Structure formats: structure tokens, C-alpha cells
Amino acid sequence: MNKTIKLLSAAVLGLLAAACSSPEKMAEMAEGITIDCKPAVLEVVGGRIEAEITVKYPADYFHPRAILEVTPVIVYEGGEAKMEPFMFQGENVKDNYQVVSSDGSTVRKRISFDYIPGMEKSHLELRSKVLYKSASTDLPSQKVADGANTTYMLVSTVGRVDYKTDDYKEIVKQKAEGQILYNINSADVRDGELRSKSIKDFQAAINAIKANHRMHIVSTDVVAYASPDGEEDKNADLSYNRSRSAEQAFNKVVDRQGVHAPVNVKSVAEDWEGFQELVAQSDLEDKDLIIRVLSMYSDPAVREKEIRNLSAVYQSLASEVLPELRRARFIANVEVSNYSNEELVEMIETGIDLLDEEALLRSASLVDDNLVKLGIYRKAIEKFDSQRAHYNMAVTYINMGELGRAKNALAKVEADGDVYNAFGVIALREEDYNAAAEYFAYSDNAAGIENAAIIDIIDGEYQAAAEKLKNNNTFNSALAQLLIGNNTPASALEGDYPEAAYLRAVAAARKGQETTVKAHLVDAASDERLAARATKDIEFAQFR
């Protein structure tokens, strides 16, 4: 395809010398004009066709008292579109048009058309007439460029909208715990402590764990403490000795239960954490003051000194709080095997009321039937007023094409990046691209960025789209790269769907690979829309 139309012949050059003597000769000598169009193949960008036309009028062509009216016209299947004409005048015309000297001149003009379906198979021509006094003489129409490339319109405008994830745990970690108490400054375990309610409850919990096939004790801990009064060094020794005696006591307790998991033993010299927790739970009048002291000082000795200075309070601490910190904790670390995916699917039918919010959200993700999904989300909303279920219901409606219902569901969800993105996808599918762009601008997630690139492609901002999609391996990412001149991602685009095959064909066409083009177009032809497009697509004109 010629990139420049130059219709200047030696015979015409011989006649130009006489052209100036008669305006009619301008019509006869029109072929002496040189016309160049950039781009030579018109391209639709952002819904418009724009190009620059350069016209060279040779010396002795333009009559000094003539006016030339030039109308750019795109002729396409189904009609034609005209611009307002460009007006040029000779040197002696007293008007306000652009002057073209009889000595020759080069003029440049921008042309701009709104895209109309059908223009993908079209051409641009210039229709001119010479006006002189009361006479009007038509010049031959001159084809300037072929058109128009609409490859960007292959962009997928479905948009990406993701479900909010659940926090369902296949394995749930739990603890069973009991404790024994020590006398002040003692590491001896009193017999009665092994028969305390805390230990009996701990043993009962162990029995329940062993009886449940979903529960398994993976490890145990023995942690011994000293209360945070007295000298720190002595407390360190005391807590260590308590850990030794506590380990022996623990073995007696769990051996009766048949627990043989690994035992981790450690000591804590001064239990400031436990102290603060017990004070916060107590009814002490000045507990806020005590907690403030703990926050102000980190040195254990300073903490103890400041608290002892609260003499009235300290007596209450000594009798109510400190004895509870002279202890050793027995801990069984338990893993609970939650319902499997298969069990969740079954429970949708047989025991949905037993499922908590996370289990409901997970079970909805396991089914393909959108109506079943909606039912599960309704249950999560009914029982837990689940915001994620409201949102996921909206996503399901979007996937079903029920955009009005999707909007209603989203209206009940607190706005965040996912919600803005979902509204943007709805606007995208409704072809309200301005609204979609605004929503995506508020979305701070990966889907919103990916969808914003769709708007960039539609608007002709191909470089911006390619930047947003640089880490993606999607159809739109490959398209954006192709639109900025990088054919490789489109050539390597995976997938056996028609759109991928068509984009691979375009990439091959730009490399001149005729055999590859035809093979990919055969694959793309399973989509009737793409098959029809290929017959008119200027990307493949060289192979027809």
C-alpha cells in the first residue's frame, strides 16, 4: 500500500506553465498537485479518525484571483462523512482565506472525523472546486488514504470484578488450659492443686479432644511464673524452679489422659503481662492509675517501686492479684480439622444453619450455580448481616448480567476499593465510560487498576494502558502492547478462545506472516462476529 499519493506526471508538468492564465486550467491541471497523508492508513483512536494532510501546489498552478474549496470526505460502506471545507485563495483575492502563492506553496491541514460503524472499510478523499467570479468548476476527487484501523476496539470491556475472600480455616487452632498455684516464694506443688477445678476442667477438655476425631493435640506447653514483686534475680530463679516442678506435675496429669505430645517448658521471671491483665479485670478503685504506671515505666524495678508507693492500693494488690500470678500454666495446643469442601457442599443442603459466616462464604465459592450462590449469601446476610455476603451477592448479579440488582446490593455495602471497582464494572458494561473511569480512579486494588486500563485503551491512551497492565498476562495486556508497537505478547498470547486467535492473527499480519495469519483466522472464525470483521479489517488487506 503506498504511503504517499503523488500524482505528478511529466506530461502534467509541461502544462503547468499555462495554468495561471485561466482558472479553468486549475481543474485541468489538478493532477499536478502532490498530496501526502499521515498516517497513510487511517486509524480510529478514542472514537475519532484524525490525520494530517500535506498538499503541495506547484509554481504557476494557483490562479491569483481564484478560490479553491477543498472538502475532506470519508467514504465507507453505508454512506459518507464530510468535514467543513478548507478554503484557499489566490494572491489577489480580497478575502480571509489562506493564501496560496502562484509561485507554489505547501499547506498542511488536520482532518478529524467521528467514527461511524462501517468506516473500518473506507477511504479518505478530497473533493475540490475552483471558484472564480460567478463560475464554479469541480476538480477530480483525489483519494488520499485507506481506512480505517479499528484494532483497539478488540478491547475486552467485560471488566474484572473479584469476590471478597472468606477467612475460613481448614485447620482451626485452639487451646485447652489449666493452671496450678504456688505459695509465695515456693516452688513446691501442693497436692490439692492437682485436684483443683482448673485441673479437672483441663482433664475434661483433654478427654473431649481425644473423643473428637477432628481434634488433635499437636504440642503442649508448661509455663511457670513468679509474681512481679521482690527482686528480679530471685524471681528468675523461683520461676525456673517452678517450671521444673510444674513439668513433673503436668506429666502426672496428662499421663492419665494418654497425651504424649511434645512438651515445651519455659519460665517467666516476672509476670507483668498477667499482672496488667488481672488489674484490668479487677474492681480495684485505682486500677487505671496502676495501668498508667505500667505504661510509663518499662524497668521492672521502677515499676515495682512506683506501685509500692501507692500504699493503699498495694495492699489490695498483695491480697487479690499477686497470689494469682504465682502459677504454672498447663496448655494443650490443639488443631481442629474443619469441614472439608465436600462436606461444606453437602451441608448446604443438609445443615446450612450449622455453618458460621466464614463457612457460608467458603461454601458459596465452591458451587457454580449462581442461584445457589445467591441463596447462600442470603443466609449469611440473614444470620450475620454479612457485608461481604452483600458484596459477593452484587458480584454474582454482575456475572449474571443483572446490573440493576447488583447496584441495589452494592448500595448496602460500606464503600471501599472493591465496591468502587464493582460500580465501575457496571458502568463499563453499560458503556458509561466516563462514570467507569471515575469509579476506577477511587478503586485502589489490582482489579480497579486493570479495569482503568480498559478506559485508557478506549480513550487512545495506549502507553498508559500498557503501563497499568505490565505485570498482567491477559488479552487486554497483549492488546495494549500491540497498540504501542510491541507484537510479541500478542503473538505469544495463550488460550484457545476466538479473541486470542484473532489477536495472534493481527500480530502475524504486522510481521507479514501470511500462512500464520490464515491459520489463526481459521481458529477465530468460530466467532461469527470476528469472522465477519476479518473480511473488512484493514490489518489483513495485504493478504486478500
Query: Is residue 156 very low, low, confident or very high in pLDDT (cuts 50, 70, 90)?
Result: very high
Q: What is the chain's mean pLDDT, rounded? A: 89
Query: Is residue 226 very low, low, confident or very high in pLDDT (cuts 50, 70, 90)?
Result: confident
Q: Same topology for domains 171-337 and 341-486, yes or no? A: no
Say which residue, 362 or 273, is predicted with more confidence. Answer: 362
* Sequence-ordered alpha helix ranges (H) in 385-513: 387-400, 403-410, 417-429, 433-442, 446-458, 462-468, 475-483, 488-491, 498-510
What does the domain layout of the chain look like in residue ranges? 4-149, 171-337, 341-486
pLDDT tops 80 at residue 64: yes
Q: What is the pLDDT of residue 411?
A: 95
**Can you say whether residue 435 is alpha, beta or left, with left for phi > 0 and alpha for psi between -120 and 50 degrees?**
alpha
Q: What is the pLDDT of residue 272?
A: 74
pLDDT tops 70 at residue 148: yes
Contact 259, 206 (CB under 8 A): yes
307-320: b or e for each residue (b if 16 or more CB lie within 10 Å)? beeeeebbebbeee
Q: What angle do CA 174, 180, 183 make, to 5 degrees?
A: 150
* Sequence-ordered alpha helix ranges (H) in 269-322: 272-281, 287-296, 300-308, 311-316
Q: At 361, give phi and psi (nearest 5°).
A: -65, -40
pLDDT tops 80 at residue 15: no
pLDDT tops 70 at residue 205: yes
Q: What is the pLDDT of residue 382?
A: 96
Tell me the pairing of strands 4-6 and 41-45.
Answer: unpaired
What's the mean pLDDT in 529-537?
Answer: 96
Q: CATH number of the domain at 341-486, please?
A: 1.25.40.10
Q: What is the pLDDT of residue 313?
A: 66
CATH 3.40.640.10 fits 171-337, yes or no: no
Q: What is the pLDDT of residue 22?
A: 64
d(Cα 292, Cα 286) in Å, to the nearest integer?
10
Contact 414, 387 (CB under 8 A): yes
pLDDT tops 70 at residue 308: no
Architecture of domain 4-149: Sandwich (2.60)
CA 132 to chain centre: 62
- 71 Cβ contact partners less than 8 Å away, ≥ 6 residues apart: 82, 83, 84, 85, 86, 126, 127, 128
Query: Is residue 446 very low, low, confident or very high in pLDDT (cuts 50, 70, 90)?
Result: very high
What's the mean pLDDT in 472-492?
Answer: 96
pTM: 0.77
Q: What is the pLDDT of residue 365?
A: 97
What's the mean pLDDT in 42-69?
Answer: 93
d(Cα 331, Cα 259) in Å, to the nearest integer?
12
What pLDDT digit, counting tens, does each position of 94-120 carry?
A: 999 999 998 889 999 999 999 999 999
Query: Is residue 417 very low, low, confident or very high in pLDDT (cuts 50, 70, 90)?
Result: very high
What's the mean pLDDT in 197-224?
Answer: 94
pLDDT tops 50 at residue 199: yes
Q: What is the pLDDT of residue 307?
A: 64
Query: Is residue 32 very low, low, confident or very high in pLDDT (cuts 50, 70, 90)?
Result: confident
Query: Is residue 306 very low, low, confident or very high in pLDDT (cuts 50, 70, 90)?
Result: low
421-449: b or e for each residue (b if 16 or more CB lie within 10 Å)? bbbbbbbbbeeebeebbebbeebeeebbb
Q: What is the pLDDT of residue 527?
A: 96
Numbers of helices and strands, H then E, in the chain: 22, 16
pLDDT tops 80 at residue 216: yes
Q: How much of the chain exceeds pLDDT 90, in percent?
A: 72
